[in-house]
Amino acid sequence: MAGDDREPATSMSPDHRRDTNAGQPTPRRSLHRSILIVVTCTLAMIINVSNTTFATISLPTIGREFNVPVAKLQWVVSAYSLAAGCLLLFFGRVADLHGRKRLLIIGLSWLIASALGCAFSNNLTVFAIIRGFQGVGSAAVIPSVVGILSRSFPPSRARAIAFTTFAAGAPVGGAIGSIIGSVLTEFTPKTWRSTFYMAAGLAAMDLILAIVSIEKDGRSPEIDRRIDWIGTVLVTSGLILVFYVLASGEVASKRWATPHIIALLVIAPILLCAFVLWQFRLERVREHPDFSPGWLTPPPLMKPSFWARAHGRMAAIMFIGMLTWCTFIGWNFWLQLYYQRFLGIGPILTSARLMPLVVAGILCNAIVAMVVSRLPVVYLLGMFSLYHYCPNGICMIEPSRQVLARLWRRAPRFYSPPSYRRRRIGLSAFPLPASWQ
């Protein structure tokens, strides 16, 4: 039985050890329950990523139904990412104080309601707003499951396996969003709305698993249980303005010369700098020997000293991760629009072209799980950064045209755009290079 704590500990079930996050020992648990915890957290990551890919694969269909230009469709994706990214710090603090399981249950319930709201949207504005609310649920779920894994698996090989399995949820979520999303969009009467019914179903399944498998949180050992509301407002406002400017600069009336875009472009960095200075102040004041709590000295949302860990390697890792996701998400967004709106290819064939990404992502996570305890992190980061960025660089080099042409000729038929599709959508005036024919 999964919940029977009388079973002996296994390699996936750590012994009684002090949990520095919750202030109490981690309970012994069966192998089955440990697996259920990992599955629950991994499914949460799958839901987080698939909520983006469900929308991305359906963008051309959504644009045709609402009769809106491509430039405005980016808000369907950006609204979700905006809310999820801006509120992560806040919800991470809430999870530490009030319980990760409790916040996970609330976040999954929120995702169910918002996914159903997206399915019933009747115009793009309402749809984008509800997508923003959906991102709030994601912001509550992700820090909760990361904290649950950290608490459930103390430093060990079991923790490495748990976190790499959790990370594998990203490519799996991409596969589910692309493949199932394309099938639902192309073959169901509700087209793109069906994908959000699917998202609600996945969140409901994860909600049941979370209630059944995850242990109740202990009370936080922190004496000062306040939330830094000033820091929350500063960082959230700054990030929202940054995202808004980046998303609206090209579609504003005078593009980047539009007065309100220029004003927000100045205000956003000021707010983010003010947040950083405010966090420095809180950390410095609270570490002073004569510190006495006051209403202007709550615990910081994010200690600046965190970035100096391991002689600055933590900051470098985060920066590399940011660049990687920036390039990948942006490239993936435009690639799907290119296939469907420029080449006239349907959602299913588009998802077929993206399947190598999914397979490579799963294989990479499996490899990392096997070698992460044997290789320094810097080697793994360097190797996979080269793996990620080099293909982009190769495509910019003239000799690579011959390589690409050779690959193009040898690729399966469905990987090359049929000429009749190009004629049908009026692209015969833009022929491929002669060597690619």
- The pLDDT value recorded for residue 45 is 92
- The pLDDT value recorded for residue 430 is 36
Q: CA nearest 39: which of 268, 246, 208?
A: 208
DSSP track, 179-213? IIHHHHHHHSTTTTHHHHHHHHHHHHHHHHHHHHH
Residues 318 and 380 in one domain: yes
* pLDDT tens-digit readout, 278-317: 999 988 888 888 777 777 888 888 888 878 777 777 788 7
Tokens of 191: 């087209």
Tokens of 316: 């470098």
CA–CA distance, 315 with 351 (Å, rounded to integer): 34
Residues 107 and 49 in one domain: yes
Residues 217 and 134 in one domain: yes
Residue span of the structural domain in which 128 resides:
18-227+301-396
Residues 306 and 354 in one domain: yes
* pLDDT tens-digit readout, 45-81: 999 988 988 888 888 888 888 888 766 777 888 888 8
Give the chain's mean pLDDT.
Answer: 76
pLDDT at 418 over 70: no
Q: What is the DSSP letter of 339?
A: I
Residues 274 and 365 in one domain: no
pLDDT at 426 over 50: no
CA–CA distance, 149 with 188 (Å, rounded to integer): 37
Q: What is the DSSP letter of 13?
A: S
Choose the final residue of a domain: 300, 334, 361.
Answer: 300
Burial of 272 (0-12, 13-18, 19+ CB in 10 A): middle
Backbone φ, ψ for residue 297 (5° rounding): -130, 55
The answer as to whether 193 is a domain residue is yes
Residues 305 and 410 in one domain: no
The answer as to whether 8 is a domain residue is no
- The pLDDT value recorded for residue 108 is 95
The answer as to whether 2 is a domain residue is no
Instruction: With beta carbons less than 8 A apart as the criterion, state whether 33 and 13 touch.
Output: yes
Residues 339 and 290 in one domain: no
CA 26 to centroid of chain Cα atoms: 28
Highest mean pLDDT of the ranges 141-155, 195-209, 233-247, 331-345: 195-209
Residues 277 and 422 in one domain: no
- The pLDDT value recorded for residue 114 is 94
The answer as to whether 28 is a domain residue is yes
Choose the final residue of a domain: 276, 300, 324.
Answer: 300
Task: Give the length of the chain.
Answer: 437
Apex CA 339: angle with CA 342 and CA 172, to 5°? 160
* pLDDT tens-digit readout, 220-240: 777 777 888 999 899 889 988
The answer as to whether 335 is a domain residue is yes
CATH number at residue 346: 1.20.1250.20
Residues 265 and 382 in one domain: no
* pLDDT tens-digit readout, 117-135: 999 988 888 998 999 999 9
pLDDT at 416 over 50: no
Burial of 216 (0-12, 13-18, 19+ CB in 10 A): exposed
Q: Percentage of the chain surpassing pLDDT 90?
A: 21
The answer as to whether 348 is a domain residue is yes
Q: Percentage of the chain surpassing pLDDT 70?
A: 77
Residues 259 and 392 in one domain: no
> Average pLDDT in the 108-122 region?
93
Name 185's Cβ contacts closer than 8 Å, sequence gap at least 6: 57, 58, 61, 191, 192, 194, 195, 347
Residues 383 and 340 in one domain: yes
Backbone φ, ψ for residue 372 (5° rounding): -65, -30
The answer as to whether 353 is a domain residue is yes
pLDDT band at 13 (very low <50, low <70, confident <90, very high): very low
CA dihedral in degrees (140, 143, 147, 150; nearest 10)?
Answer: 150
Residues 245 and 360 in one domain: no
Q: How many domains does the chain have?
A: 3
- Per the model's pLDDT, the better-predicted residue between 390 and 365 turns out to be 365
pLDDT band at 435 (very low <50, low <70, confident <90, very high): very low
Instruction: With beta carbons less than 8 A apart as the criterion, state whether 5 and 28 touch.
Output: yes
pTM to 2 decimals?
0.71
The answer as to whether 214 is a domain residue is yes
- The pLDDT value recorded for residue 314 is 77
pLDDT at 44 over 90: yes
Choose the final residue of a domain: 270, 300, 330.
Answer: 300
